Amino acid sequence: MTATMNSRNAARMKATDRTIRRINIPTDGEGKSLKISDYYAENVFDYRKSDMIPQEVKIELKAYTASHSAGKSLSKEHAEVVAKAVGTWAMRRGATHFCHWFQPLTGSTAEKHDSFLSFSKDDLPIVKLGASALLQGEPDASSFPNGGSRSTFEARGYTSWDLSSPLFLREGENGKTLCIPTAFISYTGDALDIKTPHLRSITALDKAATKFMKVIGKTDTEHVYSNCGCEQEYFLIDKAMYILRPDLVMTGRTLFGSLTSRNQQLSDHYFGTVPERVLAFMQELDYKLHRLGIPSKTRHNEVAPGQYELAPIFEDSNLAADHNQLLMAVIKKVAEKHNFVGILHEKPFAGVNGSGKHLNWSMSDNTGHNLLEPGQNPQDNYRFLAMVSCVVEAVKRNSKALRMAIASHGNDHRLGANEAPPSIISVYLGETLDKIYDAILEGKDFVPSNDKFLESGAGQLAHLLKDNTDRNRTSPFAFTGNKFEFRAVGSSQAVGFPSTILNAAMSEVLNEATVLVESYMKDGKSTDEALLELIRHYMGRSNDVVFGGDGYSSEWVVEAKKRGLPNLRTTPDALGVLKDSKLTSFLTEQGIFRGDELETRYNVAMENYCMLREIEFQTLVSMVNQNVLSAGLDYKLRLAQIITAGKSNGLESSVETDIYKRINMIIENLYDSSRELDRALEALDEDIEKRANALANNLLPLSEKVADNCNALEEMVPDDLWQLPKYYDMLFLR
Ligand code: ADP
Ligand code: MG
């Protein structure tokens, strides 16, 4: 018995393989390191550089490679030319296959590979990429979630080339694959993916915002783009430790685990020196990302031990969404090479900070003007203030939909927990903007440091805002200088969806704002007066969604309720929004979601939620049976032997007996609670809504009770009897 115990423990102790892999940082052949710009986007097809594509086709491509012209496609003839150039480029670099790369509703990406192999008329093997292969694919869609929107016999799905996102090469151990970013639609034309509605929302926002800008006097605006920069948080865990934790492998999070006395109290990890082994990983990661044309910019330690962050330079939303999907995959792949596992789950360790993905969002026009930039000129300030008031209105109107957009089983552990923005969606503007809007609403001048503000020194606005925003880290939706930061997004989420909801909410308000401003001007108001009127109109009705206090506090929950702000606590609650036509009219009326696409999403997300929660709870029960109880019983046996030995020697063993009793009690509680969880799993209703609600409201708390008992046991059982890696092993050993 002792031998097996020791070997179990030995497995845990042996688990850290801390070899630092060293990548070959590329050099110029004489040993000098290359500059990033020397290999940046090396794995991306740039039609501009191709000498196989004639100028007229390049002009056409240029027009289509902006996501606001989504849905446009090349003529067959031109597509043939491009396909040939792309194929040649890819094969020259060692690609053997190509794939349509798309984002089904699973939230991750999917790809089906085809080789370039073909046969000539004389039956000789040749390699080529034809136009039809480039333009359209037909993956069997039946195995992707479709939320019951199609029956199996018509389960064909089509992938269609998205010209606005460049083709790229993915490197594998044994060759490269050409990836063609595509949209994924059903036989009936319904979107089966995240990208299609996202592109529609980008187009809608472009139209609405361009019109608005023109009406308010910025006549050189021809297009408005939605921009997005995603700060990505993740954990790195030693692979050998990871493998010994079935919960991490099966569910992406530890279902229990006792906190060490240290953890993050010392806050010494945040921005601390990156450990050497982790740095080696980050260097290879950046190298891979840069070669893929992903503009990775910032890397650092995050708050929790073992937690890190990566932020790229912002891009057009569609590209940023694709790049974030790719980035998550590359994190996992590179981590693996360094004997780490990259964990993207929102809450891998209870009691330790979770991971989010701050979605930094702004709008800019073809002249390079950021619509959320406070600017230096007074008229820009009015435009800016009006634009921000439109954002506030958009959030206020659609706060439930925005909450829905970030709903996931993983994120439920973050939202409302004591470290992440709450599930109540509010907007933080910062003190300066709050005061300016208050002054406007009260019809007074805003006076910063003895200066009349709106009339005179308007150029200071930009300066003032820099100092005033981003002080509050507890807001789920914060203005930070010249962009909004949607902080409640989960770390593992595809950002295309929250970005879609944001764009759609904004374009609806901008369409309305255009009509309002036009009507004010018809009444004889100047542009500035009309903008002020618009600001008064929106801030007057929506100011109560603005909150500058501590979003983590319990007072805010009470206050928000008083203000009538919704608080959708669980994923099933939040997903209910998709079934409420009043709450989704801004999506359907603008054609962002069509037909039964929302219902499809509801069904897929609910099924997903239930499935993932059920896997968690089943895993928990089986770990209790296979690992935790057995460790407790081993300890009981050891204690019993000590007590018996003591007795036979005539010794008093009150301490051992006391421990024995306590262990026994925990084991009983653990057994009872896990049996109860098991029975509750068995008794789950067939109906998806009832099932999801039971999982969220009954089984989740029950599972936490089981976890508490596991933790109590972990704290009592001697280290050599505990087979599962502890938080200490996973978070502190590198
Ligand atoms: P923080 O203070 O949050 O770290 P940063 O300036 O470092 O702010 O930016 C964080 C993220 O926001 C980066 O990904 C960055 O590219 C992005 N970002 C910066 N400006 C904009 C903008 N105008 N629109 C969208 N994203 C932006
Ligand atoms: Mg940030």
Sorted by sequence, the CB contacts under 8 Å of residue 572 that are 6+ apart come out as 606, 609, 689, 692, 693, 695, 696
Residue 432 Cα to ligand 2 midpoint, Å, equals 19
Assess contact for 599 and 579: CB atoms under 8 A. Answer: yes
Across residues 272-294, what is the average pLDDT?
A: 90
Are 532 and 418 found together in one domain? yes
Asked whether residue 147 is domain-assigned, the answer is yes
Q: Which atom of ligand 1 is nearest to the CA of 362?
A: 24
Mean per-residue pLDDT over the chain, rounded: 88
- Is residue 25 in some structural domain? yes
Instruction: Give yes or no: residues 415 and 559 share one domain.
Output: yes
Residue of 227, 310, 360 to test ligand 1 pocket, by largest number of atoms within 8 Å of CB: 360
The domain spanning residue 696 has which CATH number?
1.20.120.1560
**The pair of three-digit structure tokens given for residue 638, joined into one six-digit string:** 């050891």
Q: Which of 314, 315, 428 most suits a substitution to test ligand 1, by most atoms within 8 Å of the C-beta?
A: 314
Nearest CA to ligand 1 atom 8: 480
User: Could you identify the atom of ligand 1 that is nearest to the CA of residue 361?
Assistant: 25
Name the residue with the closest Cα to ligand 1, atom 14.
229
Q: Residue with structure tokens 């501590």? A: 550
Percent of the chain with pLDDT over 70: 87
pLDDT tier, 149 (very low <50, low <70, confident <90, very high otherwise): low
Q: Can you give 155-177 as a three-state secondary structure string? A: CEEEEEECCCCCCEEEEECCEEE
Residue nearest to atom 5 of ligand 1 (CA): 311
Report angle CA 233, 313, 376 to the nearest 5 degrees.
120
Cβ of 483 closer than 6 Å to ligand 1, yes or no, is yes
Q: Ligand 1 centre from 173 Cα, in Å?
A: 34
Are residues 87 and 153 located together in one domain of the fold? yes
Ligand 1 atom with minimal separation from the 372 CA: 23
Based on the domain organization, do 189 and 276 belong to the same domain? no
Structure confidence at residue 5 as a pLDDT band (50, 70, 90): very low
Q: Tens digit of pLDDT for each residue in 48-74?
A: 899 999 999 998 888 887 755 656 678
Q: Determine the 3-state secondary structure of 134 from DSSP.
A: helix
Q: How many domains does the chain have?
A: 4
DSSP H or E stretch at residue 427: none
Shortest-distance atom of ligand 1 to CA 373: 23
Task: Provide the pLDDT for residue 467.
Answer: 55
The answer, yes or no, to whether residue 437 has pLDDT greater than 70, is yes
Report the pLDDT value the prediction gives residue 503, as an integer from 0 to 100.
98
Q: What is the pLDDT of residue 452?
A: 46
**Residue among 483, 485, 489, 502 whose CB has most ligand 1 atoms within 8 A, to mutate:** 483
Q: What is the mean pLDDT of residues 247-264?
A: 83
One domain, residues 559 and 493? yes
User: Which ligand is closest to the CA of 298, given by its number?
Assistant: 1
Shared-domain flag, residues 384 and 442: yes
Tally of CA atoms within 13 A in the half-sphere of 536 that contains its CB: 14
Q: How far apart are CA 212 and CA 269, in angstroms?
A: 46
Residues 380, 330, single domain; the answer is no
Say what the pLDDT of residue 112 is: 82
- Cβ 194 vs Cβ 211: under 8 Å: no
With a 6 Å cutoff on the Cβ, whether 370 touches ligand 1 is: yes
Average pLDDT over residues 503-517: 98
Give the Å distance between the CA of 306 and the centre of ligand 1.
23
- Whole-structure pTM value: 0.93
Kindly state the DSSP code that residue 145 receives in the 8-state scheme: -
Q: Is the CB of 466 under 6 A from ligand 1?
A: no
Q: Ligand 2 centroid vs 362 CA: distance in angstroms?
A: 13
CA–CA dist 93, 181 (Å, integer):
19
Claim to verify: residue 333 and residue 401 sit in the same structural domain: no
The CA-to-CA distance between both ends of the chain, in Å, stands at 31
Cα–Cα nearest to 539, from 613, 632, 433: 433
Note whether 484 and 539 are same-domain residues. Answer: yes
715 C-alpha to ligand 1 centroid (Å): 42
Cross-strand bridge partners of residue 484: 361, 479
Query: Strand 110-115 relative to strand 95-102: parallel, antiparallel, unpaired?
Result: antiparallel
Question: What tens digit of pLDDT does each residue of 92-140 get?
Answer: 999 999 999 999 888 888 888 899 999 999 999 999 999 988 888 887 6
Structure tokens at 491: 């770390």
Q: Which ligand is nearest to the CA of 231?
A: 1
Q: Average of pLDDT values for 608-617?
A: 97
For the Cβ of 357 lying below 6 angstroms from any atom of ligand 1, the answer is no
Domain boundary residue, one of 591, 624, 651: 591
Residues 422 and 508 grouped into a single domain = yes
Which parts of 66-180 fold into alpha helices (H)?
76-92, 131-135
Residue 391 backbone phi and psi in degrees, to 5: -65, -45
Structural domain containing residue 112? 40-193
Q: Whose CA is nearest to atom 11 of ligand 1?
A: 229
Confidence of residue 7 (pLDDT cuts 50, 70, 90): very low
- For residue 292, the tally of other CB atoms under 10 A from its CB is 24
- 328, 355, 382 — which closes off a domain? 355
Cα of 473 vs centre of ligand 2, distance in Å, is: 9
397 found inside a domain: yes
